[in-house]
Amino acid sequence: MCLWNKGKATHYCQNCKNYVCPTCIEQHISDQHISDHHKLLKVEDVQSMNSQEFVSLHLPLCDNHKEPLRFYCINCKIPICTSCTVVGHRECEGKHKPVEISEAFQQFQKTATELKEAVNQFTDKIKDSLEAVNQNNTKLEQCQETIMKDIDKLMQEVINTIKDKGNDVKDQVHKIYKRKKDVINMQMDELKTTISDANIKLTYLNQLLKSNEVVAMQSSDMVITALQDRIKEIPRTQPNDNGQIYFFENSYHISSLKQHDIGNVTEERAPDCLHLMTEEEEVIQGQTIKVKLINTGLIIDKNILKATWTQPSGNTCMIQHEETVYGNIFFTRKCKIPGVYKLNVSLDDEPIKYSPMAITVEKKGLKNTIKIHQDIVSDVVLSRDDCLLVACQTADIFKYKKSGNYIDKSTLPEGVKVNRMCKMTNGDIAFSDCGNKCITTINENGEVIKSIGEGELTDPQGIHVNESSNVTYVADSCVFMFDNVSGQMIRRISRMNTNDVTFTKGGNMTLLQNLGNFRSKILQHHALKLLDNKGNVLKLLVRSGIRDGRLLNSQGVVVDEDDNIIVSSQNKLQLFSSDGTFIKRIDNEGEINNSLGLCIISHHPRRVAVANNGHKTIQIYNY
């Protein structure tokens, strides 16, 4: 039906999207300014169309030109008409890049196909992830059920064990009860029999008392004697058994059950609850490596803990763990060949965290040489930031990296000559000032804190600061002791010239003393002595002499963490045990020339730095 005249429609207006009758058609034709672009189709043709063909009748037109959209602008990303390709519009500043709409649609189809494939792949991945999560959910349910059963089984085993132990104790109670019961019953029967026998004899006596005198006197003597004999035989009146059974609880096991868990429940696998830790990623050949097994609280079966040691050559061997009284587990190994070693630790054939652990074993001997461009190189200490501070008997303290790179210097007041140094735990440096004949202390910034010993010292050399007792020990014509707080001298120890002083781990004093010149005015003989903290000589550790194990022109002494003693001499660097036994020579022939101060710069690996004055260098040795 026609929308306007309500008559029967004969045509369909594609533009108005309505059915029209002949009268409305004439109006469309006469109204050219309105309907000149309208397209009329027969009703029969429209009714024969399928839905897709019918939709195609109403394709959108260009808003600006009312023309079909036959092109697609690549710049604007919109369909455009033929006029738009010529005129352009404001949105793209007249620079349309048109392509045929069919070509754009093909590209859209291609992009859509690719996007659909990407979406399918994306959803497949999500589905796979969902499946994996669902599987883990199933595993979680099964895991909980299994663990609950395991815990119930363990609890039942514990209960059964306790019941069995309880039944054993009950059996012991029953056996003791039966034995003691037999003793009591036997004594009761004996006492009852005695009472009965006495009563029977007493009954005879009573009967005689009631009978004829003649009859009574005939048996009286026998009855009286029997009764007297009976009461003379007094049985044991004290109980043969105390009637007690005692039970002593094993409170240790009860408290142990209360204090200790029957197991652990974690979100991690058992190997993930363990990891390796060491402070010894680098050591020197011959030095013992110690790796600790850190346990976050897991109760483990140490029988399934395995450790394999791999050498630089690739050869492997099994090593056993060591356990301390506190339950800590360690793996120790001494390596003689330089190279990279690996420690593999597994629990039930599953590697634990940080396994394998690589440990580098370095070669003994000279590690590095740092050239110092000064006339004298007198001492070296390690700063708190792990750098080397070098003294050269000037007003400057030079700072180097261990690699040898120069960093900076601290300049002290004029007239100061930094000779030998001692670093304290707070980073302060105390040094012997051979310019002002005193001991000066500076902070990390090179600022002077205080000076002591002026007027007392004549040629201050090596020093040691005992921070716990606040006492400074100075090697000079003797050993001077100064109070760090007041600066007052406490006393002198040993009247011989001393080049250096330090302390052992046990608190005893080690002195490097000058014994004077013998046979030569150049060679100075020295001895290493051990004194107690009061200055009494305990032992002569090392004598003077030319060969290895003896001291000649010796200037510096230091004690390492193993309580071994290192002494720098005219042309050698030697290692001694705490009792003075010669262990080895650290340097090689020709490397040392007139060495002075020295310091330990590392324990793992074992390293010592020495002021090699003859060569104007700082030399670092692995030992």
Same domain, yes or no: 400 and 534: yes
- CA-closest candidate to residue 277, choices 303, 302, 295: 295
Higher pLDDT, 406 or 256: 406
Fill in the DSSP letter of residue 485: T
For residue 136, is pLDDT > 70?
Answer: yes
Question: What is the per-residue pLDDT for 531?
Answer: 92
For residue 87, is pLDDT > 50?
Answer: yes
Question: What is the per-residue pLDDT for 317?
Answer: 93
Please state whether beta strands 274-277 and 282-284 pair in parallel, antiparallel, or not at all (unpaired): unpaired
Other beta carbons within 10 angstroms of residue 599's beta carbon come to 21
Other beta carbons within 10 angstroms of residue 427's beta carbon come to 13
Same domain, yes or no: 32 and 159: no
- CATH code (residue 73): 3.30.160.60
Token reading at 255:
């408290």
Q: Are 82 and 73 in contact (CB under 8 A)?
A: no
Domain annotation covers residue 527: yes
3-class SS at 385? coil
Q: How far separated are the first and last CA of the chain, in Å rounded? A: 112
Q: Are 170 and 164 in contact (CB under 8 A)?
A: no
Question: What is the per-residue pLDDT for 250?
Answer: 74
Same domain, yes or no: 384 and 496: yes
Mean pLDDT of 610-616: 97
Domain annotation covers residue 258: no
Mean pLDDT of 232-251: 82
Which domain covers residue 349, as residue numbers? 270-362
Q: How confident is the model at residue 208 (pLDDT cuts 50, 70, 90)?
A: confident
Distances (CA, A) of 173 to 1, 160, 184, 227, 250: 113, 19, 16, 43, 16
Same domain, yes or no: 320 and 442: no
Question: What is the per-residue pLDDT for 579?
Answer: 93
Domain annotation covers residue 619: no
Same domain, yes or no: 317 and 343: yes
H/E run at residue 446: none
Same domain, yes or no: 145 and 74: no
- CATH code (residue 356): 2.60.40.10
- CA-closest candidate to residue 240, choices 192, 190, 198: 190
- Mean pLDDT, the chain, rounded, equals 88
Domain annotation covers residue 463: yes
3-class SS at 53? helix
Domain annotation covers residue 476: yes
Domain annotation covers residue 238: no
Question: What is the per-residue pLDDT for 268?
Answer: 63
Mean pLDDT of 589-617: 95
Q: pLDDT per residue over 283-309, tens digit each?
A: 999 899 999 998 876 777 788 889 999
Question: What is the per-residue pLDDT for 178?
Answer: 94
Q: Are 414 and 448 in contact (CB under 8 A)?
A: no
Same domain, yes or no: 547 and 405: yes
Q: Which residue(s) pair with 505 in the sheet?
A: none
Same domain, yes or no: 537 and 430: yes
Query: ω before 60 within 30° of 0 (cis)?
Result: no
Q: Are 81 and 68 in contact (CB under 8 A)?
A: yes
* Domain boundary, last residue among 232, 247, 281: 232
The distance of Cα 142 from the centroid of its chain, to the nearest Å, equals 33
Percent of the chain having pLDDT more than 70? 92
Of 73-77, 199-203, 206-210, 618-622, the least confident: 73-77
Mean pLDDT of 30-47: 73
Same domain, yes or no: 541 and 451: yes
For residue 36, is pLDDT > 70?
Answer: no
How far apart, in whole angstroms, are the C-alpha atoms of residue 546 and residue 612?
19
Same domain, yes or no: 351 and 430: no
How far apart, in whole angstroms, are the C-alpha atoms of residue 623 and residue 618?
16
The interaxial angle of helices 101-210 and 213-232, nearest 10 deg, is 140
Same domain, yes or no: 485 and 509: yes
Q: How confident is the model at residue 521 (pLDDT cuts 50, 70, 90)?
A: very low
* Domain boundary, last residue among 102, 131, 154: 102
Q: Are 592 and 571 in contact (CB under 8 A)?
A: yes
For residue 95, is pLDDT > 70?
Answer: no
Domain annotation covers residue 274: yes
Question: What is the per-residue pLDDT for 93?
Answer: 57
Domain annotation covers residue 327: yes
Please state whether beta strands 537-542 and 556-559 pair in parallel, antiparallel, or not at all (unpaired): unpaired
Q: What is the pTM of this model?
A: 0.60
Same domain, yes or no: 320 and 391: no
Token reading at 182:
């037999």
- CATH code (residue 586): 2.120.10.30
* Domain boundary, last residue among 169, 203, 232: 232
Q: pLDDT per residue over 154-191, tens digit each?
A: 889 888 988 988 899 899 999 999 999 999 999 899 89
Query: Domain tally for the chain?
Result: 4
Please state whether beta strands 339-347 and 357-362 pair in parallel, antiparallel, or not at all (unpaired): antiparallel
